[in-house]
Structure 1
C-alpha cells in the first residue's frame, strides 16, 4: 500500500489532507526535499531552496545523515545485539529505514517510530500494514515521559532489556527555551542499563571562518522561515546531550568519519564540519 504524494497548493483541484498545514514548512518534509523525495509541498521546497542556493552540499549531508543512521542501526542490531529500537522524529520513509536496516540483521527486531507530523503518520499507517514488528506512535519527542509511557510503547517494549534510542536530526530542532539538555537527560535516565543512544546534531565548528559562517546562515534560514527551527550548537553542547553515557569509538565525529562503509574518496567540504554524530551506551 502506498500513500498519495502531496500536491502543490496551487494544483488544480487541490484538497489538503486532514491536519496538514500547507502554509508552514515541516521539518520532515524539508528533509524529504534533501533526500530527493516527493512527499513535500511548495512551502517546504522554498525553505530547502533557500539553503540549497548558498549551501548545495547540505542536500548531500541529508543523504549522509540517512546513511549514517543505517550504519549505526546495523551496528546496534548485529554487534550490540539490540532488538528494540525507538526512533524519534522518524521522518518520511526512504529507500532504507530503521526497521529495514535492523530487521535485515535480526528479523525479530522491534522498531517503534515517534513522530507527530500528519504526513509521516499517513505513511506510517502504510508501514503498519506491511510489518507487524513496526509501530508508529503519534507523540511529541520533546515530552520523553509521554513518549515512554505511551500505551503502545509500554505494550511493545520490554523495559527490563536494552533499547536503542535514536535521535537523528531531531534535537537541533528543539530550542533552548524548551531545554533540550533536560529532555535528553530524562530519556537517558529512563533507558534500561545496556541501552544505546544514537544522535546527530547541527554543529557550529567555532572556526571563526567558513564553517561558522555557514552554520549561522543556515540557522538563520531555518529559524526565520515558516519551519521555524534548526539550531547549530557547539561540540561541547552536543557532547552534553550524551550525559554520562560511554561513547562508542570513534566518539562524536563528522558523519563521514563514523565507521564509513569504505574509503572516503571524495574530499571533505565545509558542510561536513557542521553536522556531528555519535553513539553511546548506558552502563
Structure 2
C-alpha cells in the first residue's frame, strides 16, 4: 500500500547548473546538499551520489549527480516517448512565472503557455526542458494555487496494464480519467493530432499524485530501460508498507527498495517500519 509520494529525483550532469535553474527559474529553495546514504547509492548502482535537496511549498525535488556518470538524455526525444516523465509545478500567475522562467533559458516543448479546454480542467500549461533535457510543466489551475509539486506524469505503452500495476501492486486508486485532444493539446506537447489518455492515480495520503499518459496518437515510441546514473532517469520515491526483495537498510533506520513499472520507470520504495 502506497501511503504518499515523498519526492521526485532527477539525475543531472551538473549540480550547480541544475540548482540555479530550479532555484532562479522555478522558485525552489535549497534545503541541503551532500553525499547520499551509501546504502542508497549502492541500491541505485553507484559508487557515490551527491545530491541537492530542493523544497517548494510542501514538496521535495532532489537533484543527483552520480559517480560514475551515465549516458546523456536521448536527443530527439518527444512527449510521446516511453522515456518521457515530467513533473508539474503549479503557479498562481502563469504570465509572471513564464517571464521568470525565461531568465534561465529553458528549452521549450510548447511554443507558449496554452489555455486548455474546459474538458481538460480549464488550466493553463506550458511544457519545457531543463538544462539536461528533463521535461517539466508549469501549470496554472483555476483556483491559482501554487504549492509545491502537483504530480509526476509518465508515458505508458498500455494504460490498462499500468493501472493494474499501480493499483493492484502499489495501492494507488484511479481518481480521474479522460482523453485529451485538440489544437491546444498539440501545442502543449509539441506534437500533431494528439489523442492521449490521462489517468490520475492517487496514493492513500493527499500528496503529489501520479498521472499515466497513454498516447493513442502519435503512438508511443518505445525506449530502452535506463540505469539510475543515466541523465534520462527520473525516480519517484514512494512511502509504503511493503518492500521488494533486495531492499537495504539506511542509516536512519528506514529500508529502501528499487523496482520498475511495466514501462521501465524507476520507483524507489521506502518504509519506516
**Which category of TM-score, normalised to the shorter sequence, fits these structures?**
0.3 to 0.5
Structure with more helix by fraction: 1
Structure with more strand by fraction: 2
**TM-score by structure 1 length?**
0.33
**TM-score by structure 2 length?**
0.34
Higher relative contact order, chain-length normalized (CA < 8 Å, sep 6+): 2
